[in-house]
Chain A
Amino acid sequence: MKARLRANLTWLALMVLGFVVIDSCEFTGLINTFIENMLVTIGINVILATGLNLIIGFSGQFSLGHAGFMAIGAYATGIITQTMATPAGFFISMVVGMLIAIVAALIVGIPTLRLRGDYLAIATMGAAEIIRLLINNLKITNGAAGLFNIPALASWATVYVLMCLTTIVTVNFIHSRSGRAIMAVREDEIAAEAMGINTTRWKLAAFVFGAATAAIGGSLHAAYIQTIAPSDFNIMASIAILIVVVLGGVGSMTGTFVAAVGLGALDTILQNFGTLRMIIYSLALILIMIFKPSGLLGTWELSFRRLNRHHLKEVTNHE
């Protein structure tokens, strides 16, 4: 009980500290628009990638359609906040985006989650393309031109707070009965069935959960960048999120954080290198794939409870 409280307080302190550091840097002018943009991109990528890691790393279903659900969130915000340009309007639009994403994920997931591996990847990719093409051809979404002048209703602070919230919720989901059932499905579907676990239901739960968080990422993207177009949510966008997950370690939320921050920083640093940037970027990926195929952190997770326990053990050993 006490150990749990201490670990939770440590996490809370870390989150507040992060906020204060960024805030004071912002105040003293250490962070310019350029760096703020990078931080926000990192934050949104964390939201998107933790959701995708839940689907790929924890439930073991290979999805290539994450950008489709992100697009739903982005367009929900883009359309709704144009008539309701208030913070309340932004949050309403985010909830609407999540709900539509959940419905879309159910429609996509129920037939496709029967497929495995490559087939599932292709099916989800197709689903995301369908979403993109729908947006491309609808009047309300302004077709291929996209939406611009979306009210700036998300600051870096909104992104930061929502990044913390979605991560907490996702991690809580994983460390529960549901999360264990989902991992059982990944480990051995037949055995999971034999233990009374409805595998279809839990696969769907992970998929829908991931889609809902992707919609949050999309909403923030629309409200911060203020311009969205269907081409922002193509297959390359899905793959960009996938790279974060694979690089950090499939099955490690800590890894997703590290990879999102690392890639975001790398992207910014290499901005001046022009075409060379893409070469260095892909070289970094190839090197990781060769020397650490399970990703930077594998399935390792940072846990203050474990650190505490470890620390206690060492203290008693020294006595």
Chain B
Amino acid sequence: MSSPLLTATQLVKNFGGLTAVANVSVHFDQNELIGLIGPNGAGKTTLFNLLTGVTPVSSGTISLYTDHGVQTLNGKKPAQIAQAGLSRTFQNIRLFKALSVRDNVRIAMTNHYHESFYSCLLRTPHFYRTEAAMTAATQKLLALFDLTAVADQPAKNLPYGVQRRLEIVRALATKPKLLFLDEPAAGMNPEETADLTRLIRQIQQDFHITVVLIEHDMSLVMNVVERLYVLEHGALLAEGTPSEIQKNPAVIKAYLGDDA
């Protein structure tokens, strides 16, 4: 039905003697919403880090399907992977704290609006045009996610939930094909989580992108995702739709123990 966007086969990551990710193979399709769950220390964030190039893989291949064919992402730097269309948020928010909300978003657009070195030093009309186009695009994004009122504030002054939202908006500003959200609901109250649920659905529909999210909040996961991967001890434990996963005995055992 849908065409593949990214496949990872037989991914392994060793940290010294510890195998954080062991032979994990996953595939994400176009315009899909996928969840990645598992107990603490299961290797979820490590898997994100491998896919986005933050940590290099020990072995395995990562392939991205683009209009120009299949592209291997192994050994690429995070910046190159981001330029290829993979964007992410971080478990412990990593905004550009001292910079304004607007600048946070504009920085993410760096690769889409080219200003030559000389045009920015000499302030040519081309510079002002690009800058205006970038600012307009930023304004549009900020308006879409209800951040216009705080556009000039430094990111560090925002409330926690808004910082999380800004991080998602910043990731979207890179025009990704695939968006990784690392525990977007962490530290949020139920009301904020409900907002986030709506937000994630809206993103997937409006931007036609694939969203992969790590989440501990099961109400969010089960409500939103179409397909789930369950990790435990660095290995893939199960894969399926939310209802399949909920009935999976191995998953129940991993989460609740033998006696459950």
The listed residue (B94, B106, B130) touching A180 by CB distance below 8 A is B106
Give the number of residues in B that approach A within 8 Å (Cβ atoms): 38
Within 8 A of B (CB), among A135-193: 169, 172-173, 176-178, 180-181, 183-184, 187-188, 190-193
Segment from B25-33, B75-83, B139-147, B205-213 that makes contact with A:
B75-83
Contact A194 B87 (CB under 8 A): yes
Query: What string of 1s and 0s marks CB contacts (under 8 Å) between B103-136 and chain A?
Result: 1001110110111010011110001001100100
- Give the chain A neighbours of B99 by CB distance below 8 A: 180, 183-184, 187
* Distance between A285 CB and nearest chain B CB, rounded to angstroms: 25
Tell me, yes or no, whether A198 is within 8 Å of chain B by CB.
yes
Tell me, yes or no, whether A37 is within 8 Å of chain B by CB.
no
By beta carbon, the residue of chain B nearest A184 is B107
Known: A198-B79, A199-B79. Contact between A172 and B108, CB under 8 A? no
The listed residue (B77, B82, B113, B121) touching A172 by CB distance below 8 A is B121
C-alpha gap A178/B120 in the complex (Å): 8
* Distance between A292 CB and nearest chain B CB, rounded to angstroms: 18
Provide the main secondary structure of the chain B interface.
helix
Tell me, yes or no, whether B54 is within 8 Å of chain A by CB.
yes
C-alpha gap A165/B140 in the complex (Å): 35
Tell me, yes or no, whether A299 is within 8 Å of chain B by CB.
yes
C-alpha gap A176/B107 in the complex (Å): 10
C-alpha gap A299/B97 in the complex (Å): 14
Give the number of residues in A that approach B within 8 Å (Cβ atoms): 23
C-alpha gap A194/B121 in the complex (Å): 27
Contact A191 B90 (CB under 8 A): yes
- Give the chain B neighbours of A172 by CB distance below 8 A: 120-123
Contact A195 B108 (CB under 8 A): yes
Contact A196 B83 (CB under 8 A): yes
Total of A-B residue pairs, C-beta within 8 Å: 96
Contact A196 B94 (CB under 8 A): no
- Give the chain A neighbours of B121 by CB distance below 8 A: 169, 172-173
C-alpha gap A193/B107 in the complex (Å): 11
C-alpha gap A299/B95 in the complex (Å): 19
Tell me, yes or no, whether B170 is within 8 Å of chain A by CB.
yes
C-alpha gap A173/B78 in the complex (Å): 25
The listed residue (A176, A183, A195, A299) touching B174 by CB distance below 8 A is A195
C-alpha gap A176/B116 in the complex (Å): 10
Contact B110 A180 (CB under 8 A): yes
* Distance between A187 CB and nearest chain B CB, rounded to angstroms: 4
The listed residue (B95, B103, B107, B120) touching A197 by CB distance below 8 A is B107
Contact B117 A178 (CB under 8 A): yes
By beta carbon, the residue of chain B nearest A181 is B110
- Give the chain B neighbours of A184 by CB distance below 8 A: 96, 99, 107, 110
Contact A196 B111 (CB under 8 A): yes
Tell me, yes or no, whether B98 is within 8 Å of chain A by CB.
yes
* Distance between B63 CB and nearest chain A CB, rounded to angstroms: 19
- Give the chain B neighbours of A177 by CB distance below 8 A: 106, 110, 113-115, 120, 130-131, 134
C-alpha gap A37/B20 in the complex (Å): 65
* Distance between A246 CB and nearest chain B CB, rounded to angstroms: 17
C-alpha gap A198/B79 in the complex (Å): 6
Contact A195 B97 (CB under 8 A): no
Tell me, yes or no, whether B165 is within 8 Å of chain A by CB.
no
The listed residue (B79, B95, B120, B134) touching A188 by CB distance below 8 A is B95
* Distance between B113 CB and nearest chain A CB, rounded to angstroms: 7
By beta carbon, the residue of chain A nearest B176 is A196
- Give the chain B neighbours of A176 by CB distance below 8 A: 115, 120, 127, 131
* Distance between A301 CB and nearest chain B CB, rounded to angstroms: 13
Tell me, yes or no, whether B52 is within 8 Å of chain A by CB.
yes
Contact B110 A193 (CB under 8 A): no
Tell me, yes or no, whether B88 is within 8 Å of chain A by CB.
yes
The listed residue (A173, A178, A188, A299) touching B96 by CB distance below 8 A is A188
Query: What string of 1s and 0s marks CB contacts (under 8 Å) between A12-44 and chain B?
Result: 000000000000000000000000000000000
C-alpha gap A199/B170 in the complex (Å): 17
By beta carbon, the residue of chain A nearest B88 is A194
Within 8 A of A (CB), among B190-229: none
Contact B110 A197 (CB under 8 A): yes
The listed residue (B97, B122, B127) touching A187 by CB distance below 8 A is B97
C-alpha gap A177/B88 in the complex (Å): 21
Query: What string of 1s and 0s marks CB contacts (under 8 Å) between B40-75 and chain A?
Result: 000000000000101000000000000000000000
- Give the chain A neighbours of B103 by CB distance below 8 A: 180, 183
C-alpha gap A192/B87 in the complex (Å): 11
- Give the chain B neighbours of A195 by CB distance below 8 A: 82, 87, 107-108, 110, 170-171, 173-174
List chain B positions with a Cβ less than 8 A from chain A: 52, 54, 77-79, 82-83, 87-88, 90, 94-99, 103, 106-108, 110-111, 113-115, 117, 120-123, 127, 130-131, 134, 170-171, 173-174
List chain A positions with a Cβ less than 8 A from chain B: 169, 172-173, 176-178, 180-181, 183-184, 187-188, 190-199, 299
A–B Cβ pairs within 8 angstroms, 11 of them: A177-B113, A180-B107, A181-B107, A183-B96, A183-B107, A184-B107, A188-B95, A188-B97, A193-B82, A194-B78, A195-B107
Using A184-B96, A184-B110 as known contacts, list a sample of 7 further A-B pairs with CB atoms less than 8 Å apart, ordered by residue number in A.
A169-B121, A177-B110, A180-B103, A190-B90, A192-B96, A194-B82, A195-B110
